[in-house]
Amino acid sequence: MLAGALGSAVALILTGTGTAAAAPPAPDEPVRSGQAWMGAGTRIEQGPASSAAGEITPMDTSGVQGIDVSHWQGAINWGSVKAAGIDFAYMKATEGTSFKDSSFNANYTGSYNAGLIRGAYHFARPNVSNGATQAGYFASNGGGWSRDGKTLPGVLDIEHNPYGAMCYGLSTTQMRTWINDFYNTYKARTTRDVVIYTTASWWNTCTGNWTGMATKSPLWIAHWGTSNPSIPSGFPTWTIWQYTATGRVGGVSGDVDRNKFNGSFTRLQALANNSA
């Protein structure tokens, strides 16, 4: 979808409930436990993004476009999202070992019914349990997978800790073990390789430039305000790129993360179906 076409679809349309988006904490305010979202830690690294009302950040809005959401976006009109040229969406399902996003069920079902290819993500909390425990919780609470052509593999959202120490108090060796345990447990539960969402800065710092996941997990890289995202050590390329946190899309009230898939729509379907 070309940027001009997307630019014509920036009307803020709510669903019939009239529920508006809640305002996430300001950059200098703490995030309450369980309330993190994809990019909450990224903004600590890359700075708070901002945009004028109604504008789309002028990044790469060509190709296969997607968004990621959580309860912070409020009620979403998924039919309008689809009409705005969005082909895929990820939504927060879980965090840590006990939090489930309050909007997950509505978003997961609504996006599917509107014809989007969708998936779920887990916000990692490596300081509260081991990776296997959190992978099991995720798989049991929205992170499952089925070969229906509409369900993408789950995402491990592992980024700068918005609650405290950047690397959650783990050494690079401990972090590698945590991620590997999450990966192995998720694959055992779903048969799929978990997608990893991260930033180059966080990954290189907190895993010690680890290359151990490069041939196993598709990479979802977060790098805002650039035309050429930096990727972590060892990964050959990115599969999804989160290029802004201040995009606008018809059907969503306020800013929403915008993403691009690295390939054609047919390749996106192949990722959903786990086919070559």
Instruction: Write down the pLDDT at residue 45.
Output: 86
Residue from 196, 96, 191 nearest 141 by CA = 96
Instruction: Write down the pLDDT at residue 54.
Output: 39
Instruction: Write down the pLDDT at residue 225.
Output: 84
Instruction: Write down the pLDDT at residue 117.
Output: 98
Residue 95: give the domain boundaries: 57-273
Per DSSP, the chain holds a count of helices (H) and strands (E) of: 8, 9
Annotated active-site residue 157? The verdict is yes
Q: Is residue 26 part of a domain?
A: no
Q: pLDDT at residue 31 above 90?
A: no
Q: Is residue 23 part of a domain?
A: no
Q: Please name the residues in contact with 255: beta carbons below 8 A apart, sequence gap of 6 or more.
A: 49, 51, 245, 246, 247, 248
Structure-derived torsion over alpha carbons of residues 66, 198, 95, 147, reported in degrees to the nearest 10: 50
Q: Is residue 98 part of a domain?
A: yes
Instruction: Write down the pLDDT at residue 59.
Output: 58
Of the residues 45, 157, 255, 257, which is catalytic? Answer: 157
Q: Is residue 48 part of a domain?
A: no
Q: Rounded to whole angstroms, how far apart are CA atoms 274 and 167? A: 32
- What is the band of 201 on the pLDDT scale with cuts at 50, 70, 90? very high
CATH number of the domain that residue 143 is part of: 3.20.20.80
Q: pLDDT at residue 12 above 50?
A: no
Residue from 9, 70, 64, 67 nearest 37 by CA = 70
Of the residues 45, 87, 95, 159, which is catalytic? Answer: 159
Q: Is residue 120 part of a domain?
A: yes
State the total domains in the chain.
1
Q: Which amino acid is at 225?
A: G
- What is the band of 44 on the pLDDT scale with cuts at 50, 70, 90? confident
8 A C-beta contact, residue 61 and residue 258? yes
Q: What digits encode the pLDDT tens for the residues 81-117?
A: 999 999 999 999 999 999 999 999 999 999 999 999 9
Instruction: Write down the pLDDT at residue 39.
Output: 86
- Listed in sequence order, the DSSP H helices in 21-171 are 42-46, 78-83, 104-113, 131-140
Of the residues 68, 95, 101, 257, which is catalytic? Answer: 68
Instruction: Write down the pLDDT at residue 48.
Output: 62
Annotated active-site residue 95? The verdict is no
Q: Is residue 264 part of a domain?
A: yes
Q: What digits encode the pLDDT tens for the residues 233-265?
A: 889 999 999 999 988 999 999 999 999 999 999
Annotated active-site residue 257? The verdict is no
Q: Rounded to whole angstroms, how far apart are CA atoms 267 and 63? A: 12
- What is the band of 24 on the pLDDT scale with cuts at 50, 70, 90? confident
Instruction: Write down the pLDDT at residue 11.
Output: 32
Instruction: Write down the pLDDT at residue 27.
Output: 63
Q: Is residue 95 part of a domain?
A: yes
pTM of the model: 0.88
Question: ∠ at Cα 203 (103, 133), nearest 5°?
Answer: 50
